[in-house]
Copies of this chain bind each other. A is one copy, B any other.
Amino acid sequence: MMKSWLEKRADLSPDKVGLYCNKNVWTFREMEEEATVLAEKIWPYLKNQMPVALLITNQPQSVFLIHALQKIRVPVLMLNNRLTYEEWQYQLKDSQAQLVIYEDRFGIEADSAVSIDELKQSERKKLTAFDSQDVCSIMYTSGTTGNPKGVIQTYENHFASASGSAFNIGLDPEDIWLCAVPLFHISGYSILMRSVVYGIAVRLYEKFDEHEMNNDLVNGKGSIVSVVTTMLQRLLDVKSDRYHSFFRCMILGGGPAPLHMVERCHSEKIPVYQSYGMTETSSQFTTLSPADASRKIGSSGKPLFPGEMKIADQDGGKCAVNEIGEILVKGPSVTRGYLNNESATNEALTDGWLKTGDVGYLDHEGFLYVADRRSDLIISGGENIYPAEVESVLASHPAVREAGVVGKKDEKWGEVPVAFLVMADQVKSESLEQFLRERLAGYKIPKLFMFVEELPRNAAGKLVRRKLKKEIDHESF
């Protein structure tokens, strides 16, 4: 029985602050005590080594719960709290989760579920030895097929990701990492892992507020910040004072930054590391350093040490410099596969190389340019929306014959989904929306429905979303 990372960290730096949230502060020792109590309360609920699901928001107790499950060494299934009840049920069933622990605000019925309030009132039972289990966390992502798949993240994956990031941006033992991204995403979860691995504090925000974060950056409350493009834009919109000298850099996810944003950051002396990564790579996989940002506009940089990347053509051969193909990644931060889904795992992974489904090229210096994310992935306010998933729900409506979903540029969210529909019967948009609302998270619901005679398809009958996208980009709404 090995110690959990938090326990090990608490041994090393017991009196160092590990967590800030609102006006509260916890040392690593105090965090370890909180996690131990929770672990001893969860323990009696467990029957086996199957995953335990967490349905939580960004709260200190969520941090302690995550560490409590690492103490028990049972994999945690991080449920996206913006999904619908039906989407949660899919993940719980598919992952064969043995227990759901949920914040009281989320009502959930499952064979085995306990609210955090109930949990807190239950008895503690001293932990005994349990088998080592190298799966740390599971997060579902939808592929191009429409069926969400559970990405397996091992301790090694998280450790390699944390190391690679430190070797890239350096590490100051006094660093504080600001976390306003969701803990159930790899973007937030990976910050918690870095905190215990590095021995640095996290400042956790219940939700992102540009004024609050701006104040904290001006007042020296954080040295590193994880943001997506929309968050960075909102931060720039409210910025008037200089950030404190304690601030070191921003890690920007969710696609490369537009030129004007790069220029603004450069003139404001905000070092931004643009990154490319996904649930399958346990967070950022490539980053573009601020030094390279202006000469490599649109690039996502180079793979973190010791990750490797190659671009493959349709036959799996290696593409030449500047030639577009599928992006493949390999390294210790890359997932070993999808939970309970051998066929998807075999399809995605060959000799450790993971097909990302994204398309791009490497320039002559090895810098990555992502041409198309997962072919048709829509990124809205930092959330991934897979068109195939929304299309499959739309097509399940009795009045819908065919559906095609693409992203439309949006000033606030980056992109929003738009649906093209071939109808069997007439139906109102409101009724369609109601139907979707029961089955899909709000951010996935198309903001616009376009009723058409037919959808563009290629010779093999496959939907050509590129053509829909062209249509959208030329329309003005």
Binding site for B on A (CB under 8 A): 2-3, 5, 8-9, 11-12, 159, 163, 166-167, 169-173, 197-199, 302-303, 305-306, 308, 330, 366
In the bound assembly, the distance between CA atoms of A118 and B147 in angstroms comes to 61
Asked whether B167 lies within 8 Å of A198 as measured between CB atoms, the reply is yes
List the B residue with the shortest CB-CB distance to A160: B159
What is the copy number of this chain in the assembly? Answer: 2
- B330–A2 CB distance below 8 A: yes
B3 lies within 8 A of A167 (CB): no
CB<8 Å pairs between A and B, sample of 25: A2-B306, A2-B308, A2-B330, A5-B305, A8-B305, A8-B306, A9-B305, A11-B302, A11-B366, A12-B302, A12-B303, A12-B305, A159-B306, A163-B163, A163-B166, A166-B167, A167-B197, A167-B198, A167-B199, A169-B173, A170-B171, A170-B172, A197-B305, A197-B306, A199-B305
Given that A8-B305, A302-B12 are contacting pairs, would A167 and B171 also be in contact in the complex, using a CB cutoff of 8 Å?
Answer: yes
A427 to chain B, nearest CB (A): 54
Given contacts A11-B366, A171-B171, contact A5 B166 (CB under 8 A): no
Chain B residues in 8 Å Cβ range of A170: 170-173
Do the beta carbons of A159 and B163 come within 8 Å of each other?
A: yes
Closest to A307 in B: B8
Query: What B residues does A197 contact at CB under 8 A?
Result: 167, 305-306
Q: Once the chains are docked, how many angstroms separate the CA of A8 from the CA of B167?
A: 13
User: B308, A3: Cβ atoms under 8 Å?
Assistant: yes
Which residues of the other chain, B, contact A173 by a CB distance below 8 angstroms? 169-170
Best-buried of A172, A303, A306 by chain B (most CB within 10 Å): A306
Contacts of A9 in B (CB 8 A): 305
Q: Residues of B contacting A163 with CB < 8 Å?
A: 159, 163, 166
In the bound complex, what is the Cα–Cα distance between A197 and B173 (angstroms)? 19
Q: Which B residues are CB-close (under 8 A) to A171?
A: 166-167, 170-171
What chain B residues lie within 8 Å of A302 (beta carbons)?
A: 11-12
Q: Give Cα A198 to B306, complex, Å.
A: 10
List residues of chain B with CB within 8 A of the CB of A2.
306, 308, 330
Contacts of A12 in B (CB 8 A): 302-303, 305
How far apart sit A306 and B167, CA to CA, in the bound complex (Å)? 17
- Min Cβ gap A175→B in Å is 9
**Chain B hits for A167, CB < 8 A:** 166, 171, 197-199
A275 to chain B, nearest CB (A): 14
Q: Which 3 A-B pairs have the closest CB atoms?
A: A163-B163, A171-B171, A170-B173
Please report the C-alpha to C-alpha distance between residue A366 and residue B11 in the assembled complex, in whole angstroms: 7
Is the CB–CB distance between B198 and A5 below 8 Å? Answer: no
A308 touches which of B8, B198, B199, B305 (Cβ 8 Å): B8
Minimum C-beta distance from A259 to chain B (A) = 24
Shortest distance between the CB of A201 and any CB in chain B (Å): 14
Residues of chain B contacted by A172 (CB below 8 angstroms): 170
Instruction: Find chain B residues with CB under 8 A from A330 CB.
Output: 2
Q: Report the Cα distance A198→B159, complex, angstroms.
A: 15
Q: Which of A167, A172, A302, A308 has the most CB of B within 10 A?
A: A167
Q: How far is the CA of A167 from the CA of B166 in the complex (A)?
A: 9
Between A3, A159, A330, the greatest number of chain B beta carbons within 10 A of the residue's beta carbon is seen for A159
Distance between Cα atoms of A305 and B200 in the complex (Å): 13
Give the chain B neighbours of A303 by CB distance below 8 A: 12
Return chain B residues, CB-CB under 8 Å to A166. 163, 166-167, 171
User: How far apart sit A172 and B172, CA to CA, in the bound complex (Å)?
Assistant: 8
CB distance from A67 to the nearest CB of B (A): 14
A173 to B9, CA, bound (A): 24
Name which residue of chain B comes closest to A9, CB basis. Answer: B305
Closest to A167 in B: B198
A229 to B11, CA, bound (A): 27
Chain B neighbourhood of A199, CB < 8 A = 167, 305
| A5, B173: Cα distance in complex, Å | 25
A169 vs B166: C-alpha distance when bound (angstroms): 12
A306 contacts across to B, CB distance below 8 A: 2-3, 5, 8, 159, 197
A197-B304 Cα distance, complex, nearest whole Å: 10
Chain B: CB-nearest residue to A366: B11
Extra pairs beyond A12-B303, A159-B163 (16, CB < 8 Å): A2-B306, A2-B308, A2-B330, A3-B308, A8-B306, A8-B308, A9-B305, A11-B302, A12-B302, A159-B306, A163-B163, A163-B166, A166-B166, A166-B167, A167-B171, A199-B305
